[in-house]
Structure 1
Amino acid sequence: MSTPVPSWYDLLGLDPAASSDDVRAAWRAQIAELDPTDRRFTVLNQAAEVLLDPDRRSGYDAELAARAEPVAAAGPEPEPAPELAPDPERELAPEGEPAPSVVQPLDGESRRRGARVAVVPGWLLAGVAALALALTVTAAILWVREPSAADVEDDARAAQAAAERAVVPILSYDAAHLDESKAAAQQYLTGDLRKDYDKVFAGLIETNAPATKTVVKATLVRSSIVRADADRAQVFLLVNQTRTNKKYTEPEVYKNWVTLTMDRVDGQWLVADMAT
């Protein structure tokens, strides 16, 4: 028998008959002391989004009821319901794999297959990870929203889509085409962040990449909305980066996470801050 998957109610410590006010109070209490980059923060937000939306909650309750029905002995074990709450540790850091950090080596499965694990010089950590760190600001700019509020839901999704488009060029570059790489990223940045980006790009990447012939390519794995209102949103993204240079011609894979703060500027969602 498989281990039962905890429900959104279990995650928030609530009875299925809890009121919306109870859900909201439990959600606020549990995230109050969490950093937005904590994997539990994202999962708690997901739970609140489902349970504070009457239509989604009704459908979810029906799924839980169906899952609780006994299964015929000869039948196969049912598949997990699609919206059951994931364990935060297993959701964002599968068993056997370290939690995402600024730079991670090849995962355990790759090691078992004999893949080479690179030892990377400090100044050459894909360049872009250092760029992201240099642009990090304090968490004082963060704010709390009521999840699934009808008047910000569309804005939040638009900000998430814009973050997904932006993160790939921001975390990528090609030593042979640095001007194009920089321009591809600049179009997604607010004016203030663009100034910081240009300084770090010139001081780190343009200085080192041509000599090492480094190429970094980012690939989006998944994203989720952390917080949002009508004009600002924070989006958490998991990103794989592959790197090659004249010393390492086989692509090296790094698993990173980044949180993008998106501001709406003249009707367009742009990246105002980034943290890794």
Structure 2
Amino acid sequence: MSRLGGVLTAARGGATAVGHGARKAVRLPGVAWADARRRPRRAFLTLGVVAVVLIVVAGLFGFLALRQAQIESARGAASAAAEDKVTTLLSYDYRTIDADQQDRQALVTGQFKEDYGSLIADIVGPAASRQQLTTRSSVVSSSVVGTEGTDRVTLLMFLNQTTQSADKPDPTLSGSRIRVTLEQVDGDWLVSELTPV
């Protein structure tokens, strides 16, 4: 019985403490208001600091949200440009490969522009003419795998390529996987790296 009495006494004590705490919490706004009336400069200073902190936090969240929206927009634009430009760069016809070279150079940038030009002029072009080679590329799927700010995006792309030649007039289908980096140059997304993986 004494054990039960002790539990009841402790429960009453806890309830009393909670009641006192609740009453203090209810009185707190009244005390704060009375303190603000006694010391208005201090109250205005406190409110000013709180307002500045809230403005800074809201501005930071706004900036981060805007930045994220810009990155998402860049990823979408780069993905669309990659599907168009990569298929053009990896498709060629032995009858027009030399004439198409200038248009292809407008799709690439940086060191890759020089590397791609040399590859087509020195290796792909002569081999395509010799074998009467025609290749058509199409994108099966692609995914963004990296973003550096809003002007550099890297994708992993899966392609199908259909090839015909004088020796093999029936189309031959092959698949490939490439890593492509695009950079935004003067408002246009251009291929700056293209690596088989």
Report the TM-score, using the length of structure 1 for normalisation: 0.45
In the TM superposition, residue 191 of structure 1 has moved relative to its aligned partner by 4.2
Give 1 or 2 for the bigger CA radius of gyration.
2
Aligned to 1:268: 188
In the TM superposition, residue 231 of structure 1 has moved relative to its aligned partner by 1.0
> For 2:127, what is the secondary structure of its paired residue?
helix
Aligned to 1:252: 172
Q: Residues of 2 paired with 1:184 and 1:237: CA distance? A: 22
Q: Residues of 2 paired with 1:246 and 1:260: CA distance? A: 31
Aligned to 2:89: 170
Q: Structure 1: where are the runs of 5+ without partners? A: 1-147
Match of 1:234 among 137, 154, 167: 154
Q: Residues of 1 paired with 2:74 and 2:99: CA distance? A: 30
In the TM superposition, residue 181 of structure 1 has moved relative to its aligned partner by 3.5
Q: Residues of 2 paired with 1:209 and 1:170: CA distance? A: 14
Q: Structure 2: where are the runs of 5+ without partners? A: 1-66
Q: Which residue identity does 1:213 align to in structure 2?
A: Q
In the TM superposition, residue 192 of structure 1 has moved relative to its aligned partner by 2.6
TM-aligned CA distance change 1:181 to 1:240, over 3 Å: farther
Q: Residues of 2 paired with 1:168 and 1:180: CA distance? A: 17
Q: Which residue identity does 1:173 align to in structure 2?
A: Y
Alignment identity in percent?
Answer: 29
Aligned to 1:225: 144
Number of residue pairs matched? Answer: 129
| 1:1-276 equivalence runs, <5 A | 149-228=68-147, 229-276=149-196
Q: Spell out, residue by residue over 1:209-238, the C-alpha distance to the aligned partner (whole angstroms, 9 max, x if none).
A: 112100011011111111112110001111
RMSD (CA atoms): 1.5
Name the structure where strand makes up a greater proportion of residues: 2
Report the TM-score, using the length of structure 2 for normalisation: 0.62
Q: Which residue identity does 2:140 align to in structure 1?
A: V
Aligned to 2:34: none
